[in-house]
Structures are given as C-alpha cells and as structure tokens.
Amino acid sequence: MSDDAKINRRKFIVDGSAAVVGAAAAGAAASSEARRQASRKTARAEGFTSPSGCVIPYSRDELLRAERSRTFTGRQLGEIAFPLGGIGTGTVSLGGRGDFRDWEIFNRPNKGHSLPFTFVALWARRANDTPLVRVVEAPLQPPFRGAQGYPREGAQGLPRFRGAAFRGAYPFAEIAFEDETLPVAVALEAFNPMIPLEVDDSSLPVAILRYRVSNRSKAPIDVALAFSILNAVGYDGHTALGGNRHAGFGQNITRLRRDGPIVGLELTSQKYEVDDVRVGSMALVTTHPDVSARPAWEEGAWWDSFQKWFDEYAAGGGFHDGDSAGPSEDGVSQYATLAPRLALPAGETKTIDFLLAWHFPVRENYWNREPEVRGRKLRNDYGTRFENAWDVARRVASDLDRLERGTRAFRQALEQGTLPAAVLDAVSSQMSIIRTNTCMLLEGKRFFAFEGTNDEGGCCPMNCTHVWNYEQALAHLYPSLERSMRRTDFVDNLRPDGSMAFRTLVPTGRALWKFKPAADGQMGCVLKLYREWQMSGDEAFLRELWPQAKRALEYAWVQWDADRDGVMEGEQHNTYDIEFYGPNTMMGTLYLGALAAGERMARAAGDEASAAGYRRVFDSGRQRLDAELWRDGYYMQRVPDPAGVKVQQVEQKEAWYAAAVDRGAIKYQYGEGCLSDQLLGQWLATVVNIGHVLPAEHVRETLRSIYTHNFRHDFFDHPNTQRLYALNDEKGLVLCSWPRGRRPALPFVYSDEVWTGIEYQVAAHLIYEGLALEGLAITKAVRDRYDGERRNPWNEVECGSHYARALASWSLLTALSGYSYSAPERRLSFSPRLTPEAFSAFFTTGQGWGTFSQTTQPTAATARVEMLWGALELKAFGFEPGSAPAGGRLWAGVNGAAVVAHADEAGMVVFDEIVRLKVGDRLEVKLTRGSM
Amino acid sequence: MSDDAKINRRKFIVDGSAAVVGAAAAGAAASSEARRQASRKTARAEGFTSPSGCVIPYSRDELLRAERSRTFTGRQLGEIAFPLGGIGTGTVSLGGRGDFRDWEIFNRPNKGHSLPFTFVALWARRANDTPLVRVVEAPLQPPFRGAQGYPREGAQGLPRFRGAAFRGAYPFAEIAFEDETLPVAVALEAFNPMIPLEVDDSSLPVAILRYRVSNRSKAPIDVALAFSILNAVGYDGHTALGGNRHAGFGQNITRLRRDGPIVGLELTSQKYEVDDVRVGSMALVTTHPDVSARPAWEEGAWWDSFQKWFDEYAAGGGFHDGDSAGPSEDGVSQYATLAPRLALPAGETKTIDFLLAWHFPVRENYWNREPEVRGRKLRNDYGTRFENAWDVARRVASDLDRLERGTRAFRQALEQGTLPAAVLDAVSSQMSIIRTNTCMLLEGKRFFAFEGTNDEGGCCPMNCTHVWNYEQALAHLYPSLERSMRRTDFVDNLRPDGSMAFRTLVPTGRALWKFKPAADGQMGCVLKLYREWQMSGDEAFLRELWPQAKRALEYAWVQWDADRDGVMEGEQHNTYDIEFYGPNTMMGTLYLGALAAGERMARAAGDEASAAGYRRVFDSGRQRLDAELWRDGYYMQRVPDPAGVKVQQVEQKEAWYAAAVDRGAIKYQYGEGCLSDQLLGQWLATVVNIGHVLPAEHVRETLRSIYTHNFRHDFFDHPNTQRLYALNDEKGLVLCSWPRGRRPALPFVYSDEVWTGIEYQVAAHLIYEGLALEGLAITKAVRDRYDGERRNPWNEVECGSHYARALASWSLLTALSGYSYSAPERRLSFSPRLTPEAFSAFFTTGQGWGTFSQTTQPTAATARVEMLWGALELKAFGFEPGSAPAGGRLWAGVNGAAVVAHADEAGMVVFDEIVRLKVGDRLEVKLTRGSM
C-alpha cells in the first residue's frame, strides 16, 4: 500500500542521484575493486565490514565473482545427484561420478538406491592393441563399507576413468571424464528439456545423455559405448534391489526396435493391467545408427552372467544376440545392453546421444491415512500425453532440436546476466525442485506438491500453504501451474467458515484435511493470488477466485484479529508446526500484505467498500504493529498471559501436534527473540510489488539486525537440540536468536535450526532493501554447505529433500534486478541492486521471457529488453540508470525503430501506443544529456 | 614328515653360518640401513627390488619401521569402530570420534546403529566464567546426509571438541580429544580385559572407559562428565532406534545404586521371563564417589526432553532427580545420565573410570533353517557366571587392578617385541575377532563361531571347518577353546561314514548339517587336532579324539583318493564354495599334512600299522604331486575331462550351490592358474611344525611366484566381476592369476577377489621361507587398506565382518619368530626370520606365555625366555643365533642360577632335568666363543 517504489523511482530519475542505496552501491564499487585485486592474487577467505557496518565473512571477490557454475572433483563428486526429469515425471539422477542413481521415475522418491548393473562402459581398440573396457565413471570414493565387500552390483569392479570434473548448470550437467592413460577421452552432457512457460515441453519423462568421445591418439580407434540397464518395469520404486529379482518383476520383455531415426531397447512387462500402479514401460534408445545389443544378459550361477557379459564385450566391443528377450519368469527381469559403435579417426571427436525414457502413468495415494483418499489412483498428466515410453523416446527424438534450443536459450539467458555466482547457483539449482518427486502434475495439468521428500516417500502432503508461501520459482517460470495451486487453495480447500485446509487431500473433492487453519498460509494465499493475477493479467481467473479469497481474508476477523485492529492476537498456527499467540510481525506482515492485496483485488472486482475496509484495518495494523513491537532494532513478539489464551483443540492430531500451554507457560514462542522470519510478509509484499507494509527505515534496520544476530560464521559453539542443517565450520542463518537474553525455556521448536528457504527469503529481502552484500553472504553460505562433499548441490534439505521452501531462491533474482511486472497494467520495470552501471538479468512474465540489461555511461544510460520466448505487451517501462544523467532526452525504440514515449511523473517511460514485443524483438530506451 | 627344520637348525648352530636365509638377512641389513636413512629424511613411498628379485612397492623404512600403533585423525576417524567386549559377550564399539556405536551386546551384530542419546558430555566452569558443555567427541565428518537434516539422536547438535587423535593397541584404545579453545583437555582410554589362556578373565561383558581430565589453565575448574545412556533392555539388537520407543521396551526401570566402591545406574526391565531371549540388564557405574544422576530424562513433546536435559546440565553441571525411574509404559524406555563431578586445581589431571556392563544371557538360533535347531535357546557362558549386569560391574570393579595388570602385561609383551609395525598391527588388531559376534561362548565353555557377521546377523554358521583352517590366534591364545572346536568337529559332526559335516548346527546333538563334506576342512581338522595336542600336551584329549580323527582322515580314501596314491582326484568341495576336480596342491598339501599329522598321532596312540600306512600314502602323494603339477615356478591344477567327473548331488541345496559341470565344461576350476592358496596345507604343516610336505626349493619358488603374479600394486586395471575388497590405488593379493594365459572362461568364483586371511597365510608363509620382505609388503598392503577412512582397522571383511580367516595373522608372529613348541616333548624353539641379531617377540604355549629374545654379538649369543603368565616345562630349548660364534661354550640358567644342559646333535639345548618356569622366571642360554 505504500508508494515507496514509485517515490524511489521518481527520485532516482529526476535527481540523477545514485540509483542504488547503501551497500548496493558499495557492492558495485567493491566489485571493480575485487576484480582488480583478483588479478593480483588468488581469492583468500577474508572478511570485511560492509558499508552498513555488518561483518561479512568472505572476501569481496568471493561474493562477487562471476563464475557461471561450480566445478566439482574428487570427494565433491560423492554426494552429487543431479536430477534428470520433467515436471511431474519423476527423475533419475546423474551421480557426480557419472553413475545413475536415485531412480525416482516410479512415482516416488528413492534416495540412495540404484538399478543394478545399469551403467555405461566404453570399449576402445586401437589397431593392434588389446581392447580396453572402461566404465564411464570416476573412481569410487571411500569409505568402502560392506559386510560382503564393497557393493559390486553397479559394476564397481570394472576398470573406470581415473577422475572426473562435474559441472552442473541446471538443467544441464556436464562431466569430463579424465584418464591420461587412455587414448580416448569421454565427456557427457545430460539434460531434460526445460522451457519457462512451456509446461508440456518441460514435463517430458526422459533423460537425454550425450556422450562425446574423442580420439586423442594418432591412430584410428574403434569405439563402442555399451549402455546396460535393468528392465525395471514392475519395481515398487523404493526397496533396495540386489539384482534382477523382485516380487514385482515377471513377464518382463525387452526388445531391440528400430523406428525411423531411433534404435534401441524397449523394456516392458505384460504383468500389469492398465490401471495398475506398477504398469509402465521404459525405453533406452539412440539416434546413432550402428548398434549391437543384448536384450538379455546370459543367465547363470554365481557371477556367471556379468562375467560372460564382460568377456563378450571386452573381446569384440559388441554383442551377438537375438532381438527380443522374455517374457521372464515371475519375480525375475532382464539386464539388457545397447551398444552403439563407431570408428574414430585420429584426433576426431564424435557424439552418441542416448534417450532414456519412461512411462509410469499411474500413482496411488500412499501418503495419507484418510480413507477417502488413501490408495486412490491418480493419473500423471504425462501419461495422458504419451502411449508408452517408446512413444516418449520417439517423439522427443524427433523434436529434440527444438526442445534443446529452447532449453539452451533459457540457460544462456540466465547465465549471461550479471548475477554473482552464488545467486545464479541458488536460483538455477533450486528450480530443479519443481521437477522432482516433491511435485506432481496430474491429468488436467493440476499441480500438487509435498513439502519435500523423505528417502522413500513424499513428506508432508500436499500443497502446504505456509511452506509454499516462500516459493517464487514456479510462480515466475510456470505461472499457469501456480494458478492451479491457487484454484486448489480457494476452490477445493476453503471451508464454509472461511478457514482453509492448509494441506490438500488428493484426489480433491472427497474430503478436506482436518486441522486448524494456518494463519501464515491462509494470508499468504491471498498475497499469492494477487501475484498470479499480476503475472498473468487473467481477469477471469481473478473474478473466479476473488469471492473465496475475500472469505479467506476475512476469516482473520473470526479467528485471529477478532477486534479488527489489523493485528493478529489469536492462536496462529504457522509454518513452525506450532502456534504463536499474541502480536508478532511474522503473521502481522502477512496479514497486512493480504489486506493490501485484498484492497487492490477488491477494487479490481469493483468492491470499493471492501477495499476501503481493508485499507482501514491495514492502516491500523501497520501503525499498531510498529508501535507495539518495534524495540532496539527489530520487532519482537508480545506473548500474552497464558491464562487468557484459547487453544483450539483439533479433531485429528498429527504426530507433531503439541498443545501450546503446558505447566502454566506457553511453550514454543519467541518473545523478545530476533526472528529471521519476522518480516516474512514484508518480503512477500515486496516480491509481489505491494511495497512497504511497515515503515521502510524500520524494515531496513530490522534486516540488518537479523543479519547481525542470526547469521553465524560457524557452528562450533551453537548448542542445538533440534534438527541439524549446519555444522562445524559452516555458516548459516539461524531461525532465531535472543540478543537481549530472555530466551524462553522452550522456544519454538525450530528456533536453533537453519533453513535454506528462510535464508533465501532474508537474503533476497536484504538485497531488495539495499543490503546486497549481506544478502550475498547468506546466499553463498547456503551454497557452500551444498558443496558436493557435504551435501548434494541439487537437493537442499529441510523437512525432506528437494524442499519447496528453497524455491524462495528465485526472489534473489527479482530482488537483484528490482523486477516489477503488472500484466493488467502492461507495466514492467527494473531497479538493479548491484552494478547498475552494467547490469543484466533474466526475467519472465506470464506471456514471455527474455533478458533485461542496462548500461550507464557519463553521458547516456541505456536499457534493453530482449524477448527470447513468447510475447510481451507494454504500456509503461521503467529502469533505474544509476549514475546516468538527469534531465536529459528520452529515446525509445523497438528493433531500432523509434516508438513515441514520454516520462511520467513517477519516472516511468510511458508509450503512446501499446508496444507489442515478440520473440527476437528488442526494446531499447536511452536517456542522454540535454546537450546531445 | 620332512626333517627340514632339524636339519636347518643343526646347520645353523654347527656351522655358525647366517641363521637366516635370503631376504630375511637382507631384511636385517635393510632395517639398519632404513633406520639410518630415516634419520636423514622422512619416509617416502618408494619401491625397491628385494634380494629374491621381487619388486617391493614400499620403501624399506615403510616396511620395517617400529611404530607400535597407528594414530588416526580427521577423516580416518570415520570408519573406526573399536570393539569393546569379551569372548562370547558381544561388544560395543568405540567410534573413532569417541562415540559409542555398533551396539552388539544383544547377542547379534548391529553394524551402523547406535543407542540414541548415549554419549558423554563434559561440563566445566572456571571461576566467574560461563560454564561450557562439550560432547567428548571429535567433530562430525561429511557427508551430512539426511532427509530431515543430519541425524540428531546422538547429540550431534551439541558443541564438541575440535578434533581427536585415536590410537588403538588392541585391547586398548586411546583417544586424545583436542580443542585449544578450551581450558580443559580430555583423554579416554578404553579396554576390556584380555589375558591369554585365561578364558574367564577374557570373557567379561563390560567396557572399561577411563577419562582423564586435565586443567591446563591457571585457575581451578569445576568439572563434570555426564554419561547419558538409553536403558535398552528389551531391544531386539538390530533395528535402527530413532528414540526411546521400541516394541521390545516396557517396564524398564533405571535406578541409581551405591554398592561399596561403585555407584551408578542399574538399567533393567521387568518385562521378560528368565528364559526370554530379551531378558537382561545393563549397568553404568563409576568408582568416582561424587556423582549426580538422572534416572530418567524429563519427558515432553518435540525436543523438550533433550532441551531440558541440556539446560539443566549446562546451568549447574549436575542433575537433581530421584533415585529411580520406571517401570515405563509398554513400548517406551528411559534415557538416564550419570554425572561424576570433581574440582580440578590449576594444572592438575584427574581420572574418572566408567564401567559399562551388560548381561543378556540368552540367545536363540535365528540363523539356521533346520527345524531341529531353529529358534532353540542357547545360554551364554557368561550368563552362568554372573547374576546380572550389576553383578558384572561390581565384580569387575573389585578385580580391576588384577585384570588390568594382566591385560597390560600381555599388550606390553606384544609391543616390546621387534615386530615391524604392520605385523604387530595385523596380529593384534585381528585378535579382536575372537571377541566379536563372529564367535560365541556357550555354557560349558563351548566355543562356536560363524565365519563372520553380516550387519544384523551372523554369517555362515557355524564352526566352518575350512574357514577356520586359516585361524591361528585362538589356538595360540585360548587353546582350551580351540580344543572345544575339535571336539565339535570330531565328536559331534563326524558321520558314520567318516565324512564330516563341515558346519555345525547348535545346539549340537540334534541334527547334522546336510551337505557334501569339504576336503580342505576335513583334512585341516586332522592337522589342527595335531596342533591342539602339541600345544596342550593333553594326552587324554588326543586319546579321546584320535579314533574319530582316523576315520575322518581315512574318509579321504572313500571320497577323494580312492586309489590311495596320496593325491586327491575326486570331487573336492572347498572353501571357495565350489568343488575342485583332479589333482591340485591346495587340497593336496592339506591331505599330505593330515597324513603326516596322522602318522604322528597314530604312533602316539600306539597304532604303528596305521602310522606306517599313512607314511606310504604320504610318500607317494608327495612325489606325485610334485612330479605332476610343478610347472614353471608353481603348482597347477590338473583338471580332468568332464566326461569322467562324478558330481555328488546334495540333499539340501544352499543358495550358493551350483553343479560344477555345465554345457560340457567343468566350471569354477583354476587349471594353469597361479593360486595363492596352492600351498595352504604346506603353510599349515609349517605352522604346526610338521615341516615340508613338498620339496623345500619348490615351496620357496612357488611362494615367490605367488608374490610376483598375484600381489597387485594397484587395482586400476583389474576387471573383477566378483566381490570387491581392494579398489583404486590399493594393493593386495588376488586369489589367483593366469600368468601363462589360458584363464578358464568361468574360473572359481572368488578368483579375482582379495581376502585378508589368504594374504596373511601367504605373507606368513613367505616369512617362514625366508622371503620376509615380500611377506611384510603383503601385510602392510592389507593394513593400509584398513586405514580408518576406507575401512575399519578393527574389522577385516570377507564373507562378513570380523571374518575368521583373518585370524591367520597370528601366523605372522609364529613365522617371524620361527616359533615351535611341543608340549608332549617339552620342547620350545625359535628361529627369527628378521633381525636375528636383536630379536624379541611374544609367545604362548598351552600353559603360559611370555617373551623370547635373542641378541648376537661378535663373541656371544644370548637367548632369553621370560615368563609373564602361567608356567612352562622344558626338556629342550632351541634358538638360532644368526652370526653368533660356533663351536663355543654353552651356558644355561634360570634367574641367573645355572642349570645343566648340553647341545644335542640337532643343535637343541637339552636340559639334564626338566626346567620348570613360573611367572617371573627367566631362562637364559648363552653361547660364547671357546676362548671365553
């Protein structure tokens, strides 16, 4: 409701003063200084004090370096599992060593398990030399545990490359396999198509694996690449397989098929009916025409099967077998091998593409106890689009060029921006969550999601409103799916009294989850509805959901803010799985944000009376929260006397439920603590362009306090009886601290923990508020903890793997670029928080995506929008040219042709006619000094 | 049957020539050279060529250095689990970081699991300082896996020491906890009493944990050490516990008791009847008088319990609670804490002893399918000696000085010898197998053993004759238990036809295991019976078992050597879990050894006819094996035509059973391969002092071939489809190789594997035969693979953890010292294979143990036997003084008093009257030049 953003913009353009306040400007200076230093010496881990007076435990170079992706080697390969798969398809992960692990294509998580004898092995023979066989993987790393020796079921006993260097630039992974003793080099690039806005193109059940083989000798070499795989159709998707026996196997058939440009193995089973949860198929194909294959390895006692496979391959680099195997006996399946081969002249490099496709169309609800939904079958959207895995492989192969171009355009647009390394890494690595088993895409493009995944099952079903409050990536990359979540929130989960079931039972429409409503989740949903409307400009969508959203918002007056003073005092269940009592700004800012969003939506819906009412409550709440809770640099919680507290009893207790009043004290509050989430609603209001809901100067000082008190430079002396996400010499932001003492005996149950989603939320907020260096420090701390050796860089963990809250990292991008978009108003603007003199970043809208860049010279400032996908209509455009000259001339043009525009009083560039940009179009706006 | 040993001895003493042949002498020279070099530069990993022409991939210094135990730090702490427990009691392991892990006190293995919240935490307060709490453990090491964060159930979230240095000198472990930021230092010494020959003293269900706390500040410090523990009575011993809930818990009671000099927690449960497999108790006591305690942590939701525990301890270093907790609800137990406290003046060090005792007297047979034994209850011997865990703690505490003195005397005697580091390490670390869950000691002191242990159950029951062929440690440390195994072999397991069930069903007497007999195991048992007789001098034992042993030996003529030519041609099931066909020296030397032992035992039993018969078959076999199988440096297997092979069908197939004839070829043979085990029977014959059963020069050349062909300096290029025990840059001895080519398509199923038991067998044999450097290189390779980071130094793995075959390492000690003992003949002699000029080593006999040492100077040679335990009666004594003068004078004495002796024609020192040595006695023999 505040007009801060506009005021700031006007000020910048009119005054021509520094566009970026405080530390962001310092960051720019630091950046060039750091680059100078970097040329003199390699990076040292040294701290410094930021312009805002905060201690930054990194060097400026470490914070600001422009590395586009990290390279992992040696021990850092151990934890890497890079997920390959689309939205709602499940994934198989590429391990850091080049192995395939965590086969999560069977509609559930499956951490730590692999399909036995599923691996790729190179065969190479230089004229007159003995042929060599090398598994295309890096060496195994200690420890070498196992009561029967180190596991052998992944061909661990075969020779392999001496090392590997892994680079992951999601959705692309690259591995360079290293072995100087060999005459051939191998590199792998792996990806799954991902094109923002294009749901179908981004929801393909396939892994694309491109092996590049180079002959670095001076003689021709014959080469083969044998991809072996277990026909796993019938697997339950979570038990550990020790071989090709499993109760679900049987009637498995593996066939070698040629089909136009593809050839490969079709892996099926006749055991299951069409609606069975195990029904499905797999396909392993290549576009390389010359292959040999073995639809089934020979059988035998002991290790005969693998030994014979090895001997046959080692001898000739190929296989001699029939074209089909099976159907297998019950309980048994086949291992099969597809082995493309080629001749490699001296010094040449050739490429072999594999497509690994799968098709397991049926899920069932294994995660709920409620009888209305337990065991119900659910159909994956992709299952309605493809007949089987072969169909997937065939169609993806024929469309591969287009899919790959779009995916590369996206990644390149992300990379070409001026994002610091840790931000690019945080933004792009965590997008992957959308495409893991945390999420599902059911028929009709309905998007559902757990909070995260346990090792063998989803964790905390489904569409949890308060966890998904933090998420921003889906909203900006696939806004249609985000709108599907809002429909679920408001159409399916709203009860007659206006309270919202904050988890969803799927299939929907059968029952609602029985638990008290979550204050944070419910208010957040109102804010998020506003965001979806702004992103899409879909007025029909707004009209459809606004009546329910109004009820959801006004339920606050029933449950939480009975006196309608704009401050929640009632029992506020929230994302910490406990209840807060009394005024606090975590709920309070979400409530204020919802009121502000509600005002705007009510007005758009023509309901001026409600709009005015929300405004009155907002104004009251804003004043009262600030007056009552602001103390010494941050906002505290005012915990009421336990006698006056009313605890809602719940019909259905969860394992984690604990009544808040115990032995005369209210447990699980934070009181005078400095809570990292205390400005959660302010952050969300800023992300959705509502502006300040609390006084700007207090917001900024509070963020500085959060950084100062809660960002720990190590955890050696941090006693934590709760869960552990940061240890030893790691850095991280704790959820709460008590700098003034008076820590409650039993504060809220996650208070000493470190959650990446909250770290990103706070980091982005710091950046939004001009404390960019502090935000970068927190971001780097997160990503340093996920270094491949300690944890998997593509799996940030909280209450489960691939935890949705980490999708808050997208707001680092919107914060750094000061991105603001309103489809209804056809307005787009940027306000870079770092290096405004030369800034560039990726952006999306509901209809298209591209890059924004701005440069500033002494006499001119230029902004440029290049559309790389979709379309964009603009009436107004804004940017903040930093030190660009003021009072100069304005020129605007599309693809070089001028368009008529003027600057309005708020500093926005307003076009006389709507500018309609399509793919490839370039909008430019130049400000020059008057004399030019 | 050969008299090599005597001939050699005579030659040495009479000629005065170098006592040690070949490489051993070179080793001595190398040793001094290495020591000189070591003073100039630190060790480098460099290879050299041994005097026998073998490539040694280590420097001489690396091989010969005298380090008494390795120190592990950092990552090397990760895999360490040092077992604390007695024979047949189970163990709890001390982790490398100071944690307690692998709680295997519940009568089964339990790898990787810990008891929740069972840890030790230091509290310290310097006057006016804030108290500090530190878990007495080193930091956690990556990876930090866990879908809910890193596990917290071991207090991982509390501050701890910054580092630790672990030294394990079995049965003692020491950890120095390092943290320069603290005013106090802590060290831990842990052990379980182990005194050779003393079965009861070595079979105590207790871990003794001695914490030394030092005040390194200049002010007094108040200190407490809180040992927290879960009352785990009722635990099934193998499922992963996530807290204090488990179906087996309930009616748990924890009491604080004072009982004379001990005070502590008694942990019991009333839930189980006296014969229940879960019945039992635990006790955690200290001899420190000043303690506080909490018999049960407070309960609460979420993490309340642990948080309250921490807050109480952090505030005051103690606990205020009642003296008793429980009985608990069904399915729940208590955490409890015992916290001794003391005042530590500036600069002082004080010690706190904890005794952790347990008493779980009942096992049940969970490992067999056979209905006659499955589910049968078995009673641990220790259960018959103690009433409960408190009784154990009380009695051990009162006897601790004596137990500790004996244990230290043993360890010191082992350490004070001149064994190279890797040998001392191999010998002493692997003794621990006897005291793990691989073995059990049932009532009546009956010793039974698996081959090893899987993670949650024993592996390959029970008393497998062929695996236990390799074992030498039990035979030399606890010969009475080894005799119990021979009774099981010959009394319980011999079938009417003379074939032996090579596994034992316990309880015995109900059924025999149904499978074809093992040729190697059955012949080995005859050799081992001879060993037990020689060790013990127990003529009644020999008389009792000889008739059965005779039948077992002569069964060879039914099954394996029907033509009685001394060569086995029939189907020879063996330790590779397959059958060999046709002549081979692996079975052949065991057979010859058994015939030689049989001859001696038959003669002792007065059966001269049988003795002569065995001698005839032996002479034939020795000649034929050598003539038929010796080719180009080693002995091959002569594989018969498959048409002529008779395969015994078995009534009861095991999972690993595979008929040997398939598609017209005999699978799983080695043919012309160079088998590491090809002289297995020769090694065993040498260990038991029977001498050469094949020509000495061929034995030595064969060992050289095994080293050359089978000892790999790395495994980068070693394709292995079998199980994996050595990887990457590790070194190790493969079971077989085919240096002449002609590797069978499917050789025996373990041929490409690396087994520590066979490595020790070959290494010891190399040492016996004068190739000491080669033997040391193999030994070092094994121990380098078990470096704490790759694998646990106290758990060598083959088909299971703590694998019995590794007990072959004891023969490194007998080989290096050239130990030979015959109780019936009252004869003891030594013939050092390394540094004979200054050699010292531990030795045992059936009645006592001590140290042997010899020194050689230009004019004199001295040998000394010091008795440290038990007694020893000698008629004859021999030693080989290396370069000592020949033809000189002989002086012998006990404790300085001369005894009358002369040298016999074999060079032995023969006493006119039996010399009777008891503890503390010293026998000395000096040879001086004639002029003196």
Residue range A310-350, pLDDT digits in tens? 999 999 999 988 899 999 999 999 999 999 999 999 999 99
Say yes or no for a CB contact (<8 Å) between B797 and A149. Answer: yes
Contacts of A745 in chain B (CB under 8 A): 307-308, 311
Q: What's chain B's Rg over C-alpha atoms? A: 28
Tell me how far apart the alpha carbons of residues A698 and A629 are, in angstroms, rounded to a whole number. Answer: 11
Torsion of CA A589, A590, A592, A598, to 10 degrees: 160
Taking an 8 Å cut-off on Cβ atoms, the answer to whether B159 and A311 are in contact is no
Q: What is the pLDDT of residue B333?
A: 98
How far, in Å, CA of B52 to CA of B46, rounded?
18
The tens digit of pLDDT for each residue in A113-136 reads 999 999 999 999 998 889 999 999
Structure tokens, B109: 């293995």
Q: What percentage of chain A's residues is helix, strand, coil (to nearest 5)?
A: 30, 25, 45
Mean pLDDT (whole number) for B348-372: 97
Among A79, A159, A658, the residue with its CB nearest the CB of B301 is A658
Contact B310 A721 (CB under 8 A): yes
A662 pLDDT band, cuts 50/70/90, is confident
Question: What does the alpha-carbon distance between residue A124 and residue A215 come to, in Å, rounded to a whole number?
Answer: 10
Per-residue pLDDT at B881: 67
Average pLDDT over residues A810-818: 98
Which DSSP state fits A874?
Answer: E
As a whole number, mean pLDDT of residues B892-914 equals 94
User: What pLDDT was estimated at residue B655?
Assistant: 65
Q: How far is CA B813 from the centre of its chain?
A: 12
**Chain B residues whose beta carbon lies within 8 Å of the beta carbon of residue A800:** 147-148
Give the pLDDT of residue A919: 97
Convert the pLDDT of each residue in A578-624 to its tens digit.
999 999 999 999 999 999 999 999 999 999 999 999 999 999 999 99
Q: What is the mean pLDDT of residues B245-267?
A: 97
Cα(B693)–Cα(B637) distance, integer angstroms: 17
Confidence of residue A929 (pLDDT cuts 50, 70, 90): low
Asked if the model's pLDDT at residue B7 lies above 50, the reply is no
Angle, in degrees to the nearest 10, between helices B772-785 and B421-431: 60
Please state, in angstroms and rounded to a whole number, the distance separating the CA atoms of residues A53 and A570. 38
The whole-angstrom distance between A23's CA and the closest CA on chain B is 33
Token readout for B213 is: 């706390």
Beta-bridge partner residues of B390: none
Residues in B touching A300 (Cβ below 8 Å): 662, 746
Q: What is the nearest CA distance from A504 to chain B, expressed in angstroms?
A: 22
Q: What is the pTM of this model?
A: 0.94
- pLDDT of A33 higher than 60: no
**Mutation target vs B (from A156, A712, A724; most B CBs, 10 A cutoff):** A724
Would the pLDDT of A19 be above 50?
no
Q: Which residues contact residue A768 at a Cβ distance below 8 angstroms, ignoring those fewer than 6 apart?
A: A683, A686, A815, A818, A833
Please tell me which of the candidates B143, B146, B156 has its beta carbon nearest to residue A789: B143
The pLDDT of residue A18 is: 32
Structural Rg of chain A based on CA atoms:
28
- pLDDT confidence of residue A1: 42
pLDDT at B8: 38
What pLDDT sits at residue A887? 61
What's the confidence (pLDDT) of residue B555?
Answer: 98
Q: For residue A42, is pLDDT > 50? A: no
Q: Where are the alpha helices (DSSP H) in A605-741?
A: 608-629, 680-687, 696-710
Nearest to A721 among B303, B718, B799 (CB): B303
Q: Do B797 and A148 touch (CB under 8 A)?
A: yes
Interface contact A721-B658, CB threshold 8 A: no
Of the pLDDT bands very low, low, confident and very high (cuts 50, 70, 90), residue B373 is: very high
Percent of chain B with pLDDT over 70: 93
d(CA A71, CA A166): 6
Of A152, A724, A752, the CB nearest to B724: A152
Contact criterion met (CB < 8 Å) for A722 and B79: no
Which chain A residues have a beta carbon less than 8 Å from that of B800? 147-148
CA distance A195 to A541: 24
pLDDT at A647 over 60: yes
Backbone angles phi, psi at B581, to 5 degrees: -125, 140
Contacts of B716 in chain A (CB under 8 A): 159, 162
Average model confidence (pLDDT) for chain B? 93
Range name among A903-912, B25-34, B465-474, B591-600 with the lowest pLDDT average: B25-34
Statement: residue A29 has pLDDT above 50 = no
**Residue B22 pLDDT > 60, yes or no?**
no
**3-state SS class at A842:** strand
**Nearest CA of chain B to the CA of A714: how many Å?**
11
Residues in B touching A717 (Cβ below 8 Å): 159
Q: Taking the CA atoms of A381, A386, A388 and A391 in sequence, report the sign of the dihedral they define.
A: negative
Contact A723 B143 (CB under 8 A): no
pLDDT for position B746? 94
Reply yes or no on whether the pLDDT at B219 is more than 80: yes
pLDDT surpasses 90 at B661 = no
Inter-chain touch A658–B746, beta carbons under 8 Å: no
Whether A797 sits inside 8 A of B148 (CB atoms) is yes
- B799/A162 Cβ within 8 A: no
Report pLDDT for A930.
57
Residues in contact with A520: Cβ distance below 8 Å, sequence separation at least 6, in sequence order: A465, A466, A469, A572, A574, A575, A586, A587, A590, A680
Residues 6+ apart with CB under 8 A from A562: A569, A570
Q: Residue B720 and residue A158: Cβ atoms within 8 Å?
A: yes
Task: Provide the number of CB pairs (under 8 Å) joining chain A to chain B.
Answer: 183
Task: Mutation target for A interface from B456, B720, B728: give the one with most A CBs within 10 A.
Answer: B720
Neighbour tally for B653: CB within 10 Å: 12
Burial (CB count within 10 angstroms: exposed 0-12, middle 13-18, buried 19+), residue B67: exposed
Q: Which residues of B touch A719 (CB under 8 A)?
A: 133, 157-159, 310, 314
pLDDT, one tens digit per residue, over B665-692 is 899 999 999 999 999 999 999 999 999 9
- Whether B722 and A152 lie within 8 Å, measured CB to CB: yes
Average pLDDT over all residues of chain A = 93
H-run or E-run covering A909? strand A909-918
Q: Are A425 and A783 in contact (CB under 8 A)?
A: yes
- Residue A801 is encoded by which pair of tokens? 């793997």
Residues of A in contact with B724 (CB under 8 A): 144, 146, 149-152, 156-157
Cβ contact A148–B306 (<8 Å): no
Instruction: Measure CB to CB from residue B745 to each of A148, A311, A717 and give the nearest one.
Output: A311
Q: How far is B157 from chain A (nearest CA, A)?
A: 5
**Shortest alpha-carbon distance between residue B368 and chain A (Å):** 19
Tokens 């980490």 sit on residue:
A806
Parallel, antiparallel, or unpaired: how do β-strands A206-215 and A349-359 relate? antiparallel
Q: Is the pLDDT of residue B37 over 90?
A: no
A302 interaction partners in chain B (CB closer than 8 Å)? 656, 658, 668, 749
Q: Which residues of chain A lie closer than 8 angstroms to B667, CB-CB? A: 301, 304
- Per DSSP, the three-state class of B348 is coil
B40 Ramachandran zone, left/alpha/beta (phi>0; psi -120 to 50): alpha
Split at pLDDT 50, 70, 90, the class of B45 is low
DSSP lists the bridge partners of residue A265 as A256, A284
Nearest Cα residue to B470 out of B813, B811, B818, B737: B811
Contacts of A142 in chain B (CB under 8 A): 79, 789-791
Element (H, E) at A529: helix A519-536
The rounded distance, in Å, linking the Cα atoms of A111 and A454 is 8
Instruction: Work out the pLDDT band at B775, boundaries 50, 70, 90.
Output: very high
- DSSP letter for B648, please: P
Please state, for a pLDDT cut of 90, what percent of chain B lies above it.
88
DSSP category for residue B747 = -
| pLDDT tens-digit readout, B279-332 | 999 999 999 999 999 999 998 899 999 999 999 999 999 998 889 999 999 999
**Predicted confidence (pLDDT) at residue A852 exceeds the cutoff of 60:** yes
Strand bridging mode B827-829 / B860-878: parallel
**Is the pLDDT at A66 greater than 90, yes or no?**
no
Give the Cα separation of A726 and B498 in Å (integer).
Answer: 65
A399, A106 in Cβ contact below 8 A?
A: no
Whether the bond between B739 and the residue before it is cis, its omega within 30 degrees of 0, is no
pLDDT of A13 above 80: no
CB contact under 8 A, B745 and A150: no
